[in-house]
Chains A and B, each alone.
Chain A
Amino acid sequence: MEEGSNKGWIWGIVVLLVVVLGGWWVLGQKTPGASADTIKIGFIGALTGDAADYGEPQKNVLVLAAKDINDHGGIAGKQVEIIYEDAKCKGPDGANAASKLVNVDKVQVILGGSCSGETLAAVPVAEAGKVAIITGSATSPALINKSPYFFRDYPNDSSQGVVLADQAYTKEGWKKVAVIQEQTDYALGIFQAFEARYKQLGGTIVKEEFASNISDFRSVLAKLKADKPDAVLVSVQTAASAQRIFDQMQKLGWKPKLMLNDVTIGDPATLTKFKDFLEGDIGANFNLNDTPKFVALRDAYKAAYGKDMGYPTYSTAVYDSLYLIKEAIEAVGYDGTKIAAWGRSSVKNWEGASGSITIGPDGERQSGDSIFQVKNGTAVLVQ
């Protein structure tokens, strides 16, 4: 190398030193996941970046759950310690976080991730380390039977799409539905399940997609309006996108019948803000009947953090996942393989904050979504 290379090598050595010392330190930390008085549980979620909206309330409810468990004697007499790792909703970060939790912290269970991308990348790492991984908010159908070490206490996307398609075609009699879909794995997953079912029933679909960074929907809406659909399915990743769409529909003077996915109908702020606009519209969500456990969690969250619990459907499922794991460890011990097997065989009508949970032998939550209707700014279960 030419000039400046001496200095360069000094820097190189500094970097190497940092790496070697860091590595030595990491290896020095090789404590097992369960020491004499604590049980370590990993969490992977989106704590920074665009998707931190989901990850943050999930972390918050876990803090509450862990405190509650520890105040009541811990898990099998040991205090529980959750190690929170950020994966930003991205695959490689999910693999990084999982690798750290599995190999450095030596956890036997991971909760998470928040999104399907990071979970898809984390599951093989967990499986290689024989660590159980349970998610309460990654919903991609690609995760179904991905690994015997994976299970979830949140229904996958196909459940939502199917319920909506049945309601639209059979109950409402809508033969032509327009879809406005955000280009994310989650929104696409719902659409694909909806499309398969709805076309099978005999309906026709027109669809427009938009990238997540788009905020002007006027041309998309104008086009869909010209197609004269019986109803419009709004499949979005976040309630913020849905709000922008509703806003521009209002400006366009177009109010078709709407079908909403869980992030929209499950977001109280959106329903309040567009109270009149959404009156009578339907959506799929999973059954939050305001059970005592749900109400207690909602109130505790508000008291602890001074704001409403974000994305209650995901957050409650994540909250429940820690209690499920508590039961698993008490039943079969702190062992990833056994916990995963327990998760796929022993969860039947388990009453949690997210309702009654049954997990099938495929690791999927059985009790799926229901149809809700917006009435006076709140979502009401349609019987």
Chain B
Amino acid sequence: MEYLIHIAILVCIYGILGLSLNLVIGEAGLLNVTQAAFYGMGAYGAALLITNYDINFFLALLGGIIISAFGSLLIGLVLSRFRGDFYALGSFGFNVIVWSIMLNWQDVTHGPLGIPGIARPALFGFTFSENLTFLILAAVFLALVYGISTFITKSSFGRVLKALREDEEAISVFGYATSYYKLVTFVISASLAAIAGALFASYITFIDPSSFSLNESIFLLSIVILGGLGSSRGAVMGALFLIVLPEALRFVGFPPDVAAQMRQMVYGLILILLMLYRPQGLMGTFRM
């Protein structure tokens, strides 16, 4: 049961990441491969505040969000000027930059040694040290982010984003400042990703830069694309699928000699098959 709770917690964390990234990719149609950077900023921000200053998790979470929002604002100011493929390449570059900072700014981030011993959240004397209570906390955050995400997509702001996704030029003709919309979405998305980062840091109790590399951004991209672009439910489904699948494959009973390798291969194969037969994702409303 503990194991299922553990997986469920990861699903919540990645569900939040999927939802946050869906806002940028699924709703606004911007191919963003830098989400792991903001996920990492949230994680590092919260972890450093907790370990260095002994700050309560919930305040540290807020700190992580602020750091991530500020970082995304700076990055977004540049990125919002790009379109299409250039946007993807630009965002790609920023992920590498942020990752390099985590790796090299050793006085603060401890570089590749990472930050161990991050405390679990506590509120009014109650500590979320049991995995079940942590799951409840993570689920509450997932629900919150889900609510924010649906609110945005249903609002007039969300409709502008959809229009932006379909035809950026057309909507700019109508007088919408497209780069402003792109920037705001980007910052909101980064702030939501920071929540997942703080939860992750506090749950695993250890973070290092390898968890926030470009590979992680590509994994998050897979969650959103596999779940289905432009669908909040899809983003959560994508996370559920991509987290549960590799864990479920531990139980298939491959011969021990090749089990680990087979697990990776089957995982890859299933993803390829899904993209072949279900290119719009599990519940997608839009294809890139």
A positions within 8 Å CB-CB of B: 1-5, 8-9, 11-12, 15, 18-19, 22-23, 25-27, 29, 47-48, 84-86, 89-92, 95-96, 99-100, 102-104, 117, 120-121, 124-125, 128-129, 140, 142, 146, 183-185, 187-189, 209, 211
| Chain B residues whose CB sits within 8 angstroms of the CB of A102 once the complex forms | 2-3
A86 close to B260 (CB less than 8 A)? yes
Known: A84-B260, A95-B204, A104-B3. A146 touches B116 (CB 8 A): yes
A85 close to B250 (CB less than 8 A)? yes
B103 close to A211 (CB less than 8 A)? yes
B282 close to A8 (CB less than 8 A)? yes
Known: A19-B240, A95-B204, A120-B116. A1 touches B231 (CB 8 A): yes
* Nearest-Cβ distance from residue B203 to partner chain A, whole angstroms: 8
Known: A15-B241, A188-B111. A48 touches B250 (CB 8 A): no
B positions within 8 Å CB-CB of A: 1-4, 6-7, 10, 100, 103-104, 106, 111-114, 116-117, 131, 200, 204-208, 210-211, 228, 231, 233-234, 237, 240-241, 244, 247-248, 250-251, 256, 259-261, 263-264, 278, 280, 282-285
B3 close to A9 (CB less than 8 A)? no
| Chain B residues whose CB sits within 8 angstroms of the CB of A12 once the complex forms | 233, 237, 282-283
A121 close to B205 (CB less than 8 A)? yes
| Chain B residues whose CB sits within 8 angstroms of the CB of A3 once the complex forms | 285
Q: Which 8 A/B pairs are nearest by Cβ-Cβ distance?
A: A8-B283, A47-B260, A86-B260, A103-B2, A103-B3, A99-B6, A120-B206, A185-B112
Which residue from chain A places its CB closest to the CB of B278 in the assembled complex? A11
Q: Is the interface of A mostly helix, strand, loop or mixed?
A: helix
| Chain A residues whose CB sits within 8 angstroms of the CB of B200 once the complex forms | 92
Count A-B contacts at CB 8 Å: 137
B228 close to A8 (CB less than 8 A)? yes
| Chain B residues whose CB sits within 8 angstroms of the CB of A9 once the complex forms | 283
B211 close to A91 (CB less than 8 A)? yes
| Chain B residues whose CB sits within 8 angstroms of the CB of A103 once the complex forms | 1-3, 6
Which residue from chain A places its CB closest to the CB of B281 in the assembled complex? A8
| Chain A residues whose CB sits within 8 angstroms of the CB of B6 once the complex forms | 95-96, 99, 103, 125
Q: Which of A22, A91, A125 makes the CB contact (< 8 A) with B114?
A: A91
A27 to B205 Cα, complex, angstroms? 26
Q: Is the interface of B mostly helix, strand, loop or mixed?
A: helix
A215 to B261 Cα, complex, angstroms? 27
- Other than the given A4-B280, A11-B237, 17 more pairs (CB < 8 A) read A1-B233, A4-B284, A5-B283, A5-B285, A9-B283, A12-B233, A26-B3, A26-B251, A84-B260, A96-B6, A100-B3, A103-B3, A104-B3, A120-B116, A184-B112, A189-B113, A211-B103
A99 to B96 Cα, complex, angstroms? 31
Sample (11) of A-B pairs whose CB atoms are under 8 Å apart: A4-B283, A8-B234, A11-B283, A15-B240, A25-B251, A91-B207, A99-B7, A103-B2, A140-B113, A142-B113, A188-B111
A183 close to B112 (CB less than 8 A)? yes
B206 close to A91 (CB less than 8 A)? yes
B233 close to A142 (CB less than 8 A)? no
A22 to B2 Cα, complex, angstroms? 14
| Chain A residues whose CB sits within 8 angstroms of the CB of B285 once the complex forms | 1-5
* Nearest-Cβ distance from residue A322 to partner chain B, whole angstroms: 15
A85 to B249 Cα, complex, angstroms? 11
B247 close to A100 (CB less than 8 A)? yes
* Nearest-Cβ distance from residue A208 to partner chain B, whole angstroms: 12
Q: Which of A26, A95, A121 makes the CB contact (< 8 A) with B4?
A: A26
| Chain B residues whose CB sits within 8 angstroms of the CB of A185 once the complex forms | 111-114, 208
A8 close to B231 (CB less than 8 A)? yes
| Chain B residues whose CB sits within 8 angstroms of the CB of A91 once the complex forms | 114, 204, 206-208, 210-211
Which residue from chain A places its CB closest to the CB of B243 in the assembled complex? A96
A64 to B33 Cα, complex, angstroms? 44
* Nearest-Cβ distance from residue A228 to partner chain B, whole angstroms: 26
* Nearest-Cβ distance from residue A22 to partner chain B, whole angstroms: 5
B210 close to A117 (CB less than 8 A)? yes
| Chain B residues whose CB sits within 8 angstroms of the CB of A128 once the complex forms | 131
B237 close to A15 (CB less than 8 A)? yes
A185 to B283 Cα, complex, angstroms? 41
| Chain A residues whose CB sits within 8 angstroms of the CB of B131 once the complex forms | 128
A95 to B284 Cα, complex, angstroms? 31
